[in-house]
Amino acid sequence: MTVIRNEKLRKALSVVIPFIFIPAVVLSGVLVFRGKSYSYGIFAISVLSVLLFICGFDRRKTGTRRLVLISAAVAMACVGRAVCSFIPAVNPITAITVLFAVYLGSEAGFMIGAFSALISNIFAGQGVWTPFQMFAWGMIGFFAGVFAKYLENHTVRLCVYVFFSGAAYSFIMDVWSVMWAYNTFNFKFYIASITSAAPYTVVYAVSNVIFILLLKKPFSEKLGRIKIKYGI
Amino acid sequence: MSSFQLFNPAAVFIFFACVLVSGIFTMNPVITVISLAGAILFFFVLPGQKNNRIHICTVLMTLACMVFNPVFGHNGATVIAVINNHNVTVEAGLYGIFLGLMLSAAVYWFASFSQIMTSDKIIYILGFLSQKAALVLTMALRFIPAYIRKAKQINDSQKALGLYKDETIISRLKGGARVFSILLTYMIEKTIITSDSMSARGYGGGRRRSFSLYPFGKRDVIFLTVSLVFTACTVYASSKGALFYNFYPFADTPATDFTALTGYTGYGLLCLSPSVIEGGNRIRWRYLRSKISHSDIRFPVR
């Protein structure tokens, strides 16, 4: 575990890694694995962007309270997934990530979404899909933080956001499974996988709305309160 | 205990990354079969609890791919049936089988991966990237059992107070939401206390150092070098285009020239190496134990 102490080197690395390293990895991989170039490309980009985000998280100054709150939120989402695991296609990770992201900001939202996917997969099953799940849930949290002004104290908008992000999550994962299996984006297969997953998608999107309706009130009361009381 | 518990997690992680990335993205049936064989062998060689549902899962997955791919995909030249103006081709079926085997191989590798890479090792790997992220992960893992315990207590006390009804689904949902709300309050207050006590003990006060129990020894260097060399053989063959394989319109016969053979051998040895390490260590242990004759064992005399 090394921490680079040289300020100039650290700055140079922060430029080199996103703008040179990632394209280099993707391009060289695409040249090596010709038969699967596209699926390799999206795989590498999603893995590396999650890693980049985590590295960026270390550089910025995050208060201790915020840090502990993020890990508590991750634990909460994982407990929620474990509790709901007996119902297929229902888990509160999206809802909890969005609610926390609205109050804690986009960066915290990304971390909560991505880490909830990583940890809950320890018992739900790790797989090739883990980086994509981390990326998808991380992005849902990130955009919830970006649109926090519009979503805060507005249950209807929050429900709409969660409904569409639940559907988008399924659609993104379907894009991935089609790309992964067939290397090109084949529209016929995409429609087939969407229709076969349609009941799950609907159940997932609706369950997200139910979670929001159940959890919105306690969240806004309590997180709003500690925001004022402790200034997080 | 697996002998992989003693390896440095970074070396094990890089090995698994090599196997999976070069196995999945080469798109070659020979490589896929090698990968599956190596994965199943390692799955059985690795000691520990075995989940036998995994076999049913992979067989079903392969069958599903074999059936669904010809139904939805109509590429390929050898038509065996025409259903609703759609050609059902042999090549699409072959591609389906190939896909299923590839998925099964990934499932078996990941089963072994999650058995070796316990959460402490994942945290160690993440610590290379960001120590803050590793801290978040550690604390989240510690909070999960604590919250489950607390949720149970809250649930019991609500029941004892007569507030928690579980007659209809709606009342159960409402009860669940109330337990959640109480848990949230507890969690937030606890978070503030935890973070304040962390700051009081000097967290974030200076340059952070960390401690881990995983040295990077000779054995890790050898394991890492060997697996990187084998991966390099596969990547070399793949970048030369020797492992390129076409399913459509006609399924090729796999290439057998020298470059392709280098790739197959490299990947085969890569997939075999964990089983060899694990099995070899176990045989060595048996051999050493067999050399201990009974007269050598002195029981403590009381």
Asked if B116 and B7 sit in the same domain, the reply is yes
Q: Is B248 on the interface with A (CB under 8 A)?
A: no
Whether B302 is in a domain gets the answer no
B23: tokens are 């196995």
The C-alpha angle with vertex A122 and arms to A121 and A126, in degrees rounded to 5, equals 55
Chain A residues touching residue B267 (CB < 8 angstroms): none
Structural tokens at position B100: 């299923």
Residue B42 confidence (pLDDT) above 90: yes
Please indicate whether residue B1 or residue B261 has the higher confidence score (pLDDT).
B261
Domain limits for position B222: 3-122+216-292
The residue type found at A17 is I
Percent of chain B surpassing pLDDT 70: 93
Q: For residue range A10-62, list pLDDT tens digits in order.
A: 677 767 777 787 788 878 877 777 767 777 877 888 888 888 888 777 777 77
Residue A97 has pLDDT above 90, yes or no: yes
Same domain, B18 and B118: yes
How many domains, in total, are found in chain B? 2
Is B99 in the same domain as B145? no
Q: Taking the domain A63-230, which CATH number applies? A: 1.10.1760.20
Which residues of chain A neighbour B145 with C-beta distances below 8 Å? none
Does B264 reside within a domain? yes
- Kindly report, residue by residue over A156-187, the tens digit of the pLDDT: 999 999 999 988 888 888 887 777 777 667 77
Mean pLDDT value of segment A79-86: 82
**Interchain proximity A71–B143, CB inside 8 Å:** yes
Which pLDDT does position A1 carry in this prediction? Answer: 38
Q: Is the pLDDT of residue B262 over 80?
A: yes
Task: Confirm or reject contact between B28 and chain A (CB < 8 A).
Answer: yes
Interface predicted TM-score (ipTM) over 0.95? no
- Contact residues on chain B for A35, CB-CB shorter than 8 A: 25-28, 243-245
In a domain, B298, yes or no: no
Cβ–Cβ gap A54/B129 under 8 Å: yes
CA angle A81/B119/B144 to nearest 5° reads: 40
Closest CA in chain A for residue B151? A79
Q: How far apart are CA B192 and CA B207, in angstroms?
A: 23
Question: Do both B19 and B67 map to the same domain?
Answer: yes
Say if CB B234 and CB B270 are below 8 A apart.
yes
